[in-house]
Amino acid sequence: MPATEVSEIPIRPDLVAAQAEAWRHVTSPGASWTGDERRAMAQIALAALDDTEPLPPWASPTQTGRAMPGAELLPDAAVDAVYLIARHAATLTGDWYRTQLARGIDPFAYVEMVGVVVAAAAVDGFFRSVGLERPALPPVVAGAPHGHHPEVEAAELNWVPVAVPADQQAAVVQGLSAAPAEWDNVKQLAAAQYVPVDEMGELAWSRGTLSRADMEFVAARLSAARECFY
Protein backbone atom coordinates (compact mmCIF):
# COMPACT_ATOMS: atom_id res chain seq x y z
CA MET A 1 0.00 0.00 0.00
CA PRO A 2 1.03 3.62 -0.35
CA ALA A 3 1.86 6.13 2.35
CA THR A 4 -1.50 5.59 4.03
CA GLU A 5 -2.02 1.98 5.11
CA VAL A 6 -5.58 0.72 4.82
CA SER A 7 -5.49 -0.46 8.41
CA GLU A 8 -4.94 3.17 9.50
CA ILE A 9 -7.98 4.50 7.66
CA PRO A 10 -10.91 5.17 9.99
CA ILE A 11 -14.24 3.58 9.10
CA ARG A 12 -17.28 5.83 9.46
CA PRO A 13 -18.92 5.25 12.89
CA ASP A 14 -22.38 4.88 11.32
CA LEU A 15 -21.06 2.12 9.06
CA VAL A 16 -19.35 0.33 11.95
CA ALA A 17 -22.57 0.55 13.95
CA ALA A 18 -24.71 -0.76 11.08
CA GLN A 19 -22.40 -3.72 10.55
CA ALA A 20 -22.34 -4.50 14.29
CA GLU A 21 -26.14 -4.35 14.33
CA ALA A 22 -26.26 -6.70 11.34
CA TRP A 23 -23.97 -9.16 13.11
CA ARG A 24 -26.15 -9.01 16.25
CA HIS A 25 -29.23 -9.52 14.11
CA VAL A 26 -27.98 -12.60 12.28
CA THR A 27 -26.96 -14.30 15.53
CA SER A 28 -30.28 -13.63 17.27
CA PRO A 29 -33.48 -15.70 17.05
CA GLY A 30 -35.73 -14.90 14.13
CA ALA A 31 -39.26 -15.84 13.18
CA SER A 32 -38.44 -19.35 11.94
CA TRP A 33 -34.88 -20.09 13.03
CA THR A 34 -32.96 -19.96 16.33
CA GLY A 35 -29.93 -17.79 16.82
CA ASP A 36 -27.73 -20.90 16.61
CA GLU A 37 -29.26 -21.81 13.27
CA ARG A 38 -29.00 -18.29 11.91
CA ARG A 39 -25.37 -18.03 13.03
CA ALA A 40 -24.69 -21.34 11.28
CA MET A 41 -26.21 -19.91 8.08
CA ALA A 42 -23.98 -16.86 8.32
CA GLN A 43 -20.94 -19.09 8.93
CA ILE A 44 -21.76 -21.17 5.85
CA ALA A 45 -22.33 -18.08 3.73
CA LEU A 46 -19.00 -16.64 4.80
CA ALA A 47 -17.26 -19.97 4.20
CA ALA A 48 -18.77 -20.05 0.71
CA LEU A 49 -17.53 -16.52 0.03
CA ASP A 50 -14.07 -17.42 1.36
CA ASP A 51 -13.91 -20.68 -0.60
CA THR A 52 -10.81 -20.56 -2.80
CA GLU A 53 -11.96 -23.63 -4.72
CA PRO A 54 -15.70 -23.04 -4.86
CA LEU A 55 -18.11 -25.74 -5.82
CA PRO A 56 -19.75 -25.21 -9.21
CA PRO A 57 -23.38 -24.12 -9.14
CA TRP A 58 -24.63 -27.59 -9.97
CA ALA A 59 -22.88 -29.20 -6.99
CA SER A 60 -23.69 -28.80 -3.30
CA PRO A 61 -21.80 -29.16 -0.03
CA THR A 62 -23.90 -32.06 1.20
CA GLN A 63 -23.70 -33.96 -2.11
CA THR A 64 -19.97 -33.58 -2.36
CA GLY A 65 -19.07 -33.95 1.30
CA ARG A 66 -17.63 -30.43 1.50
CA ALA A 67 -17.38 -29.61 5.23
CA MET A 68 -19.21 -26.44 6.23
CA PRO A 69 -19.03 -24.75 9.65
CA GLY A 70 -22.24 -25.15 11.62
CA ALA A 71 -23.75 -27.53 9.07
CA GLU A 72 -24.69 -29.97 11.81
CA LEU A 73 -27.25 -27.45 13.09
CA LEU A 74 -29.16 -27.16 9.82
CA PRO A 75 -31.11 -29.36 7.44
CA ASP A 76 -29.07 -30.41 4.41
CA ALA A 77 -31.36 -28.40 2.16
CA ALA A 78 -30.56 -25.22 4.09
CA VAL A 79 -26.81 -25.89 4.02
CA ASP A 80 -26.91 -26.32 0.25
CA ALA A 81 -29.19 -23.35 -0.35
CA VAL A 82 -27.11 -20.98 1.76
CA TYR A 83 -23.92 -21.97 -0.09
CA LEU A 84 -25.55 -21.47 -3.48
CA ILE A 85 -27.14 -18.12 -2.61
CA ALA A 86 -23.86 -16.83 -1.22
CA ARG A 87 -21.67 -18.05 -4.07
CA HIS A 88 -23.81 -18.44 -7.19
CA ALA A 89 -26.95 -16.35 -6.71
CA ALA A 90 -27.21 -15.40 -10.37
CA THR A 91 -27.76 -19.05 -11.32
CA LEU A 92 -30.89 -19.51 -9.20
CA THR A 93 -34.18 -20.23 -10.94
CA GLY A 94 -37.81 -20.56 -10.00
CA ASP A 95 -37.53 -24.33 -10.42
CA TRP A 96 -34.61 -24.34 -8.00
CA TYR A 97 -36.67 -22.38 -5.45
CA ARG A 98 -39.54 -24.84 -5.73
CA THR A 99 -37.07 -27.69 -5.20
CA GLN A 100 -36.04 -26.11 -1.91
CA LEU A 101 -39.66 -26.15 -0.78
CA ALA A 102 -39.93 -29.81 -1.85
CA ARG A 103 -36.81 -30.54 0.23
CA GLY A 104 -38.71 -29.29 3.27
CA ILE A 105 -37.80 -25.61 3.65
CA ASP A 106 -40.87 -23.62 4.66
CA PRO A 107 -41.36 -20.45 2.53
CA PHE A 108 -41.14 -18.16 5.58
CA ALA A 109 -37.97 -19.96 6.68
CA TYR A 110 -36.53 -19.63 3.18
CA VAL A 111 -37.07 -15.87 3.06
CA GLU A 112 -35.57 -15.44 6.51
CA MET A 113 -32.57 -17.52 5.39
CA VAL A 114 -32.08 -15.21 2.41
CA GLY A 115 -32.06 -12.26 4.80
CA VAL A 116 -29.27 -13.81 6.84
CA VAL A 117 -27.17 -14.64 3.78
CA VAL A 118 -27.46 -11.17 2.23
CA ALA A 119 -26.47 -9.50 5.51
CA ALA A 120 -23.42 -11.75 5.71
CA ALA A 121 -22.56 -10.91 2.10
CA ALA A 122 -22.82 -7.19 2.86
CA VAL A 123 -20.44 -7.19 5.82
CA ASP A 124 -18.08 -9.53 4.02
CA GLY A 125 -18.26 -7.42 0.88
CA PHE A 126 -17.14 -4.30 2.69
CA PHE A 127 -14.16 -5.85 4.45
CA ARG A 128 -13.12 -7.85 1.38
CA SER A 129 -13.24 -4.69 -0.74
CA VAL A 130 -11.39 -2.49 1.67
CA GLY A 131 -8.79 -5.18 2.35
CA LEU A 132 -9.30 -5.55 6.09
CA GLU A 133 -10.02 -8.57 8.24
CA ARG A 134 -13.74 -9.22 8.62
CA PRO A 135 -15.04 -8.98 12.21
CA ALA A 136 -15.98 -12.28 13.78
CA LEU A 137 -19.61 -13.16 14.29
CA PRO A 138 -20.70 -12.43 17.87
CA PRO A 139 -21.98 -15.08 20.26
CA VAL A 140 -25.49 -16.40 19.75
CA VAL A 141 -28.44 -14.81 21.50
CA ALA A 142 -30.40 -17.68 23.03
CA GLY A 143 -34.09 -18.17 22.52
CA ALA A 144 -36.69 -19.84 20.38
CA PRO A 145 -37.96 -18.49 17.07
CA HIS A 146 -40.89 -16.16 17.73
CA GLY A 147 -43.06 -17.70 15.02
CA HIS A 148 -44.85 -14.49 14.06
CA HIS A 149 -45.29 -14.12 10.31
CA PRO A 150 -47.12 -11.50 8.26
CA GLU A 151 -50.07 -12.36 6.06
CA VAL A 152 -48.63 -13.24 2.67
CA GLU A 153 -49.74 -14.08 -0.82
CA ALA A 154 -48.19 -15.21 -4.09
CA ALA A 155 -46.52 -12.48 -6.13
CA GLU A 156 -46.14 -11.89 -9.82
CA LEU A 157 -42.80 -10.16 -9.33
CA ASN A 158 -41.06 -12.70 -7.05
CA TRP A 159 -40.89 -16.47 -6.59
CA VAL A 160 -41.26 -16.11 -2.87
CA PRO A 161 -44.52 -15.19 -1.14
CA VAL A 162 -44.73 -11.56 -0.08
CA ALA A 163 -46.72 -9.56 2.46
CA VAL A 164 -50.15 -8.48 1.28
CA PRO A 165 -50.91 -6.66 -0.91
CA ALA A 166 -48.49 -8.19 -3.40
CA ASP A 167 -46.80 -6.35 -6.23
CA GLN A 168 -47.48 -2.84 -4.96
CA GLN A 169 -43.76 -2.23 -4.51
CA ALA A 170 -40.69 -3.09 -6.54
CA ALA A 171 -39.74 -6.76 -6.45
CA VAL A 172 -36.51 -6.15 -4.59
CA VAL A 173 -38.37 -4.28 -1.84
CA GLN A 174 -41.14 -6.81 -1.34
CA GLY A 175 -38.75 -9.78 -1.68
CA LEU A 176 -38.08 -10.02 2.06
CA SER A 177 -41.48 -8.77 3.21
CA ALA A 178 -42.44 -12.24 4.46
CA ALA A 179 -39.61 -11.77 6.98
CA PRO A 180 -39.93 -8.09 7.89
CA ALA A 181 -37.12 -8.08 10.45
CA GLU A 182 -34.73 -9.16 7.70
CA TRP A 183 -35.86 -6.28 5.50
CA ASP A 184 -35.38 -3.90 8.42
CA ASN A 185 -31.81 -5.15 8.74
CA VAL A 186 -31.19 -4.65 5.03
CA LYS A 187 -32.55 -1.10 5.26
CA GLN A 188 -30.34 -0.15 8.17
CA LEU A 189 -27.31 -1.54 6.36
CA ALA A 190 -28.25 0.24 3.14
CA ALA A 191 -28.58 3.56 4.96
CA ALA A 192 -24.92 3.38 5.99
CA GLN A 193 -23.54 1.64 2.91
CA TYR A 194 -25.40 3.49 0.20
CA VAL A 195 -28.14 6.10 0.70
CA PRO A 196 -30.50 6.61 3.67
CA VAL A 197 -34.06 5.70 2.73
CA ASP A 198 -35.40 9.22 3.24
CA GLU A 199 -32.73 10.57 0.86
CA MET A 200 -33.34 7.99 -1.85
CA GLY A 201 -35.21 10.37 -4.12
CA GLU A 202 -32.56 13.07 -3.84
CA LEU A 203 -30.22 12.44 -6.74
CA ALA A 204 -27.81 15.14 -5.59
CA TRP A 205 -27.32 13.49 -2.18
CA SER A 206 -23.72 12.71 -1.28
CA ARG A 207 -21.52 12.07 1.75
CA GLY A 208 -18.98 14.45 0.23
CA THR A 209 -17.06 11.75 -1.59
CA LEU A 210 -18.88 9.83 -4.34
CA SER A 211 -21.67 11.71 -6.06
CA ARG A 212 -24.98 9.88 -6.38
CA ALA A 213 -24.08 9.26 -10.01
CA ASP A 214 -20.75 7.76 -8.91
CA MET A 215 -22.63 5.48 -6.50
CA GLU A 216 -24.94 4.32 -9.27
CA PHE A 217 -21.91 3.74 -11.48
CA VAL A 218 -20.31 1.51 -8.82
CA ALA A 219 -23.65 -0.24 -8.26
CA ALA A 220 -24.03 -0.93 -11.96
CA ARG A 221 -20.48 -2.27 -12.32
CA LEU A 222 -20.88 -4.54 -9.29
CA SER A 223 -24.29 -5.78 -10.42
CA ALA A 224 -22.89 -6.57 -13.86
CA ALA A 225 -19.92 -8.40 -12.33
CA ARG A 226 -22.40 -10.50 -10.35
CA GLU A 227 -24.50 -11.04 -13.50
CA CYS A 228 -27.61 -9.78 -11.75
CA PHE A 229 -30.26 -9.22 -14.40
CA TYR A 230 -32.58 -7.36 -12.07
Question: Within positions 18 to 77, which residues make up the interface with other proteins, using CB under 8 A?
Answer: none
Interface pick for other proteins out of 65, 72, 129, 133 (rule CB under 8 A): 129
146 binds other proteins (CB under 8 A): no
Q: Which of residues 67-126 bind other proteins (CB under 8 A)?
A: 85-86, 89-94, 97, 111, 114, 117-119, 121-126
Give 20 or 200: the residue with its C-beta nearer to other proteins. Answer: 200
At residue 1, what is the residue type? M
Q: Give buried/exposed letters for 72-109 (b at 16+ CB in 10 A, else e).
A: ebbeebbbbbbbbbbbbbeeeeeeebeebeeeebebbb
Q: How far is the CB of 111 from other proteins (least distance, A)?
A: 7
Give 128 or 146: the residue with its C-beta nearer to other proteins. Answer: 128
- Say how far apart CA 147 and CA 186 lie, in whole Å: 20
Give 71 or 86: the residue with its C-beta nearer to other proteins. Answer: 86
Interface pick for other proteins out of 2, 65, 72, 102 (rule CB under 8 A): 2
Q: How far is the CB of 147 from other proteins (least distance, A)?
A: 21
Residue ranges of E strands in 74-225: 152-153, 162-163
209 binds other proteins (CB under 8 A): yes
Q: Which of residues 152-171 bind other proteins (CB under 8 A)?
A: 156-160, 169-171
3-class DSSP assignment, residue 157:
coil
Is-contact 178 152, C-beta < 8 A? yes
133 binds other proteins (CB under 8 A): no
Give 17 or 142: the residue with its C-beta nearer to other proteins. Answer: 17
H/E element, 221: helix 212-225
Is-contact 100 84, C-beta < 8 A? no
Binding mask 173-192 for other proteins (x = CB under 8 A): x-xx---------x--xx-x
The count of chain residues that interact with other proteins, using the rule CB under 8 A, is 79
Q: Checking DSSP bridges between strand 152-153 and strand 162-163, what pairing results, if any?
A: antiparallel
Give 164 or 200: the residue with its C-beta nearer to other proteins. Answer: 200
Q: Is 26 exposed, middle or buried (0-12, 13-18, 19+ CB in 10 A)?
A: buried
3-class DSSP assignment, residue 162:
strand
Judged by CB under 8 A, the stretch of 4-12, 27-35, 69-77, 145-153 that binds other proteins is 4-12
128 binds other proteins (CB under 8 A): yes
Q: Closest Cα to residue 210, out of 225, 221, 198?
A: 221
